[in-house]
Each structure stands twice: as C-alpha cells, then as structure tokens.
Amino acid sequence: MRNESVAGAFYPNSCSEIEEYFKLFNATLDDQIENSDELYNLKPRAIVVPHAGYIYSGFTANIAYRILKNSNPKRAIVIGLSHRVYIDGISGTKEDFFQTPCGGIEIDLDYLEKLSQKFDIKNIKEAYEQEHSTEVQMPFVKHYMPNAKVIELVYGDIKYEIVAKIIEYVLQDSENVVIISTDLSHFYDLKKANILDNICLEAITNLDIQRFEQGCEACGAIGIKAMLATAKKMNLKSILLDYRTSADTSKDEDRVVGYMSGLFVAT
C-alpha cells in the first residue's frame, strides 16, 4: 500500500471534506463559465496541474480534472518531481494500491513492469513515500476517474528527453492519460512572479521549449519540457485553463507561488 503522507496538510484527511472542496470548486467554476460548452466537452490526452495545498491551487487543478474525466481513461500515469530526496533517474511505485481518504486506487503493476523494463524505471521507496507532487493528484483521480488504475512516476536527475519517450509510449495507448505535476515560480513578489510565470505560459501555449528555458522557473520543469516535446511530436494542441498565485488566497504579495493548469488534446 502506498500510504498518504500529506493528508491533513496539503488536503483534508477526511473524504467528506475533500468532496466539499470539489463541490465548492465546481460551484465557483459553474458561476464563471460562459459559452464554454466546447471546452468542457473535450477529451484530453494529458493535463498539467499544480501540487500545492488545495486551499491555494485546488481550484486550478480541479478545472483540468473536470475536463479530463471526459476521457474516461483506463489508466492515469501521474508524473511528478522528487522534492525530498535525490533520485538518479525515475522511480515507479510498486505497491498494490495508492491509499486516499476516499479509498484506494489500484496501481497497475503489470503495466508498470512493462514500462520499467523498457525505460529502466527504478523502484525507490524513499522517492515516493513522502512525495506530495504526485500524492495530491490522487484524490482528484479517485473522484473524477473512479474506474482508472494509476501509475506513479517520480523523477529526479534525468533528461527531459527520456521522460518524453515514456510519455510518447504511454500516449500511444488511447486508454491512457498523462498527468504532469508542477508549480511555477516560488517566493518572488507578485509582479516578478507574474513576469516569470508568463514565460512558462507562453512556452506551454506554443509548445516552445526554447522559450521555456528563457526564465520559466517551474519546479516540474523536466516534466513540462517532456510534455511539450511529446505534444509537438504527436501533434497535440495545448490549452491553458487557469493561472493564479498564492496571493489570491493569502493576500500576501511579497512571497508568492505561481500555479497553472492546462490540457493537451488531439488536433
């Protein structure tokens, strides 16, 4: 069992409280939607979502998951960076289930074994047992895609081109979706954060890795660049959904963190 490590901190440790978050997020979103039926009926192949506490970035992530559910995937591959320990390469979680406050999600061990053999994916327990970048995504997966199995991949010191090969292989199966976890700039004042984050947003919109490398400070840079490279190769279109900072919640504009969400869809 892959147990929760940040339940009660980044997100509630009570299923009913998590469901209340989702209910509030969607009620707020419904009030904002105007002439967006086409967008909310898309079937994404992949999403990019933040991984802060739900109070800060949950609304931003929720928009992407609400649309991703339309894809009705058999399998969700969740890719995030290692925050706490150094990893040489990339690690997959070889446990039977990923526990959430709303119940377990089956980890597809057969599929993970196939990926591990093809791409030298390791099994490093300390890489995933306290990793929040992937964990905070799981209650969303459980809520919006209750029939999907998951793969948790946590990367460290690795070239984005290698991660891109994994994503491309995964997306060749139409029943798979990919979830890339990242926040944007950290701890600048709001004006500086907006400048840096806009570089990220421009790069993602245009699938432009060169622009990304001109100042985007996303903590999950490897995952984003891998996704951009894959999208360009597979002729996927990116659609930005939401951008905000921690200041929207905290009202502290001196040290903010940036968050965004987006989709990748077939053209």
Per-residue pLDDT 10s for the chain (267 aa) are: 999 999 999 999 999 999 999 999 999 998 887 666 789 999 999 999 999 999 999 999 999 999 999 999 999 999 999 999 999 999 999 999 999 999 999 999 999 999 999 999 999 988 888 899 999 999 999 999 999 999 999 999 999 999 999 999 999 999 999 999 999 999 999 999 999 999 999 999 999 999 999 999 999 999 999 999 999 999 999 999 999 999 999 999 999 999 999 999 999
pLDDT of residue 38: 87
User: CB–CB of 122/113 below 8 Å?
Assistant: no
Domains identified in the chain and CATH numbers: 15-266 (3.40.830.10)
User: CB–CB of 238/204 below 8 Å?
Assistant: yes
pLDDT of residue 35: 61
What the block records as the tokens of 90 is 């990339």
Q: Alpha-carbon distance 82 to 87, whole Å?
A: 7
DSSP string, 126-147: HHHTT-HHHHTTHHHHHHH-TT
